[in-house]
Amino acid sequence: MTTQRPKAIPTVQVDDDTFRVTEWHFPPGSETGDHVHGMDYVVVPMTTGTLTIVNDDGTTFPSEMKAGQSYSRKTGVAHNVINENDFPITFVEIEAK
């Protein structure tokens, strides 16, 4: 569920025929807003911390991020990502087109 929090800051680094690479910077208290992933993707955390995931059905869970420890997800993931920490978190998202 999207709230009235400040928005996370996306910076597209690469957008070609094969990949889109976006750095996501989450200042304290920020969120992505509700979204659905249209492509398979890999997340590469740049900082260590916990983000809060709010699924489209309203369920929430913590997502532990460890700098340099990547993970992948499939197309169709629907959620909001929130940084409830008092410090910023950054990750790089690599989407396969």
* Cα end-to-end span (Å), the chain: 26
The total domain count for the chain is 1
Q: Residue 85 domain-assigned?
A: yes
What pLDDT, in 10s, does the model give residues 46-96? Answer: 999 999 999 999 999 999 999 999 999 999 999 999 999 999 999 999 999
Q: What is the CATH number of the domain that holds 67?
A: 2.60.120.10
- The two tokens of residue 1 are 């569920």
Contacts of 88 (CB under 8 A, 6+ apart): 25, 26, 27, 28, 47
pTM of the predicted model as reported, rounded to 2 decimal places: 0.93
Inter-CA distances, 85 with 14, 30, 64, 79, 88, Å: 28, 9, 12, 18, 7
